[in-house]
Amino acid sequence: MPSPFPGMDPYLEHPDLWPGLHNRLIVRIADLLSAQLGDKYSVSLDVRMYETNDIESLLVGIPDVSVLSKKGQINTSNSTESQAAVIEPSTKPTTVTLPIPINIREGYLEIQEVATKEVITAIEILSPANKRGGKGREMYLEKREKILDSFTNFIEIDLLRRGQRMPISNDKNKSHYRILVSRKKQRPRADLYAFNIQNKIPEFPLPLRPEDTEPIIDLQGLLTTIYDAGRYDLKIDYTQKPVPELSENDATWADTWLRQQTI
């Protein structure tokens, strides 16, 4: 059973589902390209590892860690003084979360020319840590800058609505999702495929050597296969709001769309 949405399913962004989807998608892209590239290129699935004690990373599986004040309002302040002003002395302990270091693993793909071992194209699928402030974003941005300053082609896939977008000069696009295809010979120009939950995910080419035919990546088809194989229809309750939530207009559209799919 396919996803009821025409393109990217916003319910797949839930922190409980995204890590597994991220891994499945990387493997599917690798398998697709390995079957199309022949003997000239090889596809490597590599892992970037780092240690962090970022609280948000520790609580990545919890969709909402907001704290309610006594009046029922969300308390977003991190100030010790403001918290001390509303907390009354008590002999009873409260539960806190310690920033215990954890190891983060992020997969990515590299297309290498077999004869020279040169990395021709790098493919990244953004993770929540890449789009938050902290070590995960810092490390990713450092790698991104090195790639864009090299002779390597670059593909960046962003299927997450939440978080800071990656730097693009004069970027005024407000789309939910985006795919960046940067060919070394065209920099600083690049091709940006921008789309929303209402749209089918566009197909895009894999940049290689100028003399080679570029395979087309059908991300929509891959996600449909993953959705079926992972039985996400049994894991998602479409009567609930997605995490992160949609805007009012998008939520209205999604509700209408989902009702039409069940008729």
Q: What is the pLDDT of residue 86?
A: 60
Pull the structure tokens for residue 217: 């990546």
CA–CA dist 79, 258 (Å, integer): 42
- Give the closest residue to 202 by CA, choosing from 6, 14, 21: 6
The answer to whether 120 and 112 are in contact (CB under 8 A) is: yes
- Give the closest residue to 204 by CA, choosing from 183, 189, 184, 188: 183
CA–CA dist 178, 125 (Å, integer): 11
Report the chain's C-alpha Rg in angstroms: 21
Domain span at residue 124? 10-60+100-261
Share of the chain above pLDDT 70, in %: 83
Name the pTM for this structure: 0.82
Statement: residue 56 has pLDDT above 80: no
Q: What is the pLDDT of residue 18?
A: 95
Please report whether residue 81 resides in a domain: no
Higher pLDDT, 76 or 18: 18
Q: How many domains does the chain have?
A: 1
Statement: residue 221 has pLDDT above 50: yes
Please report whether residue 72 resides in a domain: no
Please report whether residue 142 resides in a domain: yes
By mean pLDDT, which of 25-34, 134-143, 203-212 is the weakest?
Answer: 134-143
**Confidence band for 71, pLDDT divided at 50, 70 and 90:** very low
Statement: residue 85 has pLDDT above 60: no
Statement: residue 55 has pLDDT above 60: no
Please report whether residue 15 resides in a domain: yes
Q: What is the mean pLDDT of residues 8-23?
A: 95
